Structure 1
Amino acid sequence: MKTLRKTLWLVRHARPLIDTDRCYGRLDVVADAQATQKAAKALAQALPPWRGDLNILHSPLQRCEQLAHALKVLEPDFIAKPDARLQEMDFGQWEGLRWDEIGEPAISAWAKNLGKHAPGGGESLMQMLERVNAALQEARLSPHNHQVWICHAGVARCVQWLLQHGLEQPRSADWTLPAPAYGQWLQVRLG
């Protein structure tokens, strides 16, 4: 008997309607509606026909929720549930600021201690890794062999780090993991 391997689709929201020179981790901004529709159509076409064995979770931030709803319109049988663990990093007081307004000294302090420094007084990367790891462990134990997370670039990078290194603390030089482009995805195997 052939055993299916669990697959996790890490789907990034469409392009947000904000200047990308701004820090917008947990900032709740909407995504481009037309790009969201295009991403939903592409995803609906790409997902294999294992609809009954599919679990869809999404970040509760608007830009991800939009894509989940657009996918539901195309595929009414899909049920997508919000999961706060799939949110982007919380940059605290940096949220909404231009990166050049934050300044090199603050960014350098974060880079020197990437894992434990909480940029803008928000959330450290280790805190984010721990919350994403909790969702990842649940995904591994899920009876569903195929899972879709509609999330953010940071979450996609965290999942890859966790699969390769567990909860080992990353250094700036190590944090070079790819992330899907807006409205795109990557697939990872969970076992």
Structure 2
Amino acid sequence: MKTLWLVRHARPLIDTDRCYGRLDMAADAQATRQAAQALHKALLPLRGDLQLWHSPLQRCEQLALDLKALQPDFTATPDTRLLEMNFGHWEGQRWDDIGESAISAWAKNLARHAPGDGESLVQMLQRVSQALDDARRNPSAHVVWICHAGVARCVQWLVQHGQQLPQSHEWTLPAPAYGQWVQIALS
């Protein structure tokens, strides 16, 4: 069975009360090393039959490079389709400073509204869907994505609901904790 591993980067070095979708910052180095060691142990039996892709943001690239240091034969390929949502001018702002009315406008039209004039969920779902199609066509039995919470949620939505657009009350999909992963069976 073909499996997609959705691995979330370690905790980024930013206040958790800030919007940081596409902001490019490092992750905690020690937590990244620990995540790489745990992932390496889990992937070791599969190493001959897997592909590793990662978001080009440094918090994901760090984990990919730490994993590659443990297993030099892994090839880590950056893929912009695995980027987190672009929150436009909300990036770096405290959620409280963005304002309830702006967040409510996004929630009312979750799929089509571009928060901060950045990227809409429809746009994000489209690019993640393209990457998911490529993962399904990939000849390897295991595809590993080092990515973000939003990408993990998009994959789960697409696997469960296809191209149907979510309403805000339906967007309750879990994401892996920092440095953790989930496995999704691909058909």
TM-score by length of 1: 0.97
Determine the structure 1 residue equivalent to 2:97. Answer: 101
Q: What is the SS of the residue equivalent to 2:45?
A: coil
Q: CA deviation at 1:48?
A: 4.7
Residues 1:188 and 2:187 are matched in the alignment: no
Structure 2: distance between partners of 1:158 and 1:164: 10
Determine the structure 2 residue equivalent to 1:174. Answer: 170
Matches within 5 A, 1:26-175: 26-175=22-171
Q: CA deviation at 1:98?
A: 0.1
Q: CA deviation at 1:46?
A: 1.1
Determine the structure 1 residue equivalent to 2:16. Answer: 20
TM-score by length of 2: 0.99
Q: CA deviation at 1:53?
A: 1.0
Q: What is the SS of the residue equivalent to 2:20?
A: coil
Q: CA deviation at 1:167?
A: 1.4
Q: CA deviation at 1:30?
A: 0.6
Structure 2: distance between partners of 1:133 and 1:30: 27
Q: CA deviation at 1:50?
A: 2.2
Structure 2: distance between partners of 1:100 and 1:63: 24
1:36-83 C-alpha deviation (Å, 9 max, x unpaired): 000000000111512121100000000000000000001111111000
Structure 2: distance between partners of 1:92 and 1:12: 22
Structure 2: distance between partners of 1:65 and 1:37: 12
Q: What is the SS of the residue equivalent to 1:34?
A: helix
Runs of 4+ in 1 over 2 A off after TM superposition: none
Give, as a single letter, the amino acid of the residue that structure 2 aligns with 1:161: W
Structure 1: distance between partners of 2:33 and 2:49: 24
Structure 1: distance between partners of 2:16 and 2:113: 23
Kindly report the root-mean-square deviation, in angstroms, between the aligned alpha carbons of the 2 structures.
0.6
Aligned length: 187
Q: Mean alpha-carbon deviation: is it higher for 26-35 or for 40-49? A: 40-49
In structure 1, the gaps of 5 or more residues are none
Q: What is the SS of the residue equivalent to 1:70?
A: helix
Percentage identity across paired residues of the two chains: 73
Structure 1: distance between partners of 2:14 and 2:135: 31
In structure 2, the gaps of 5 or more residues are none
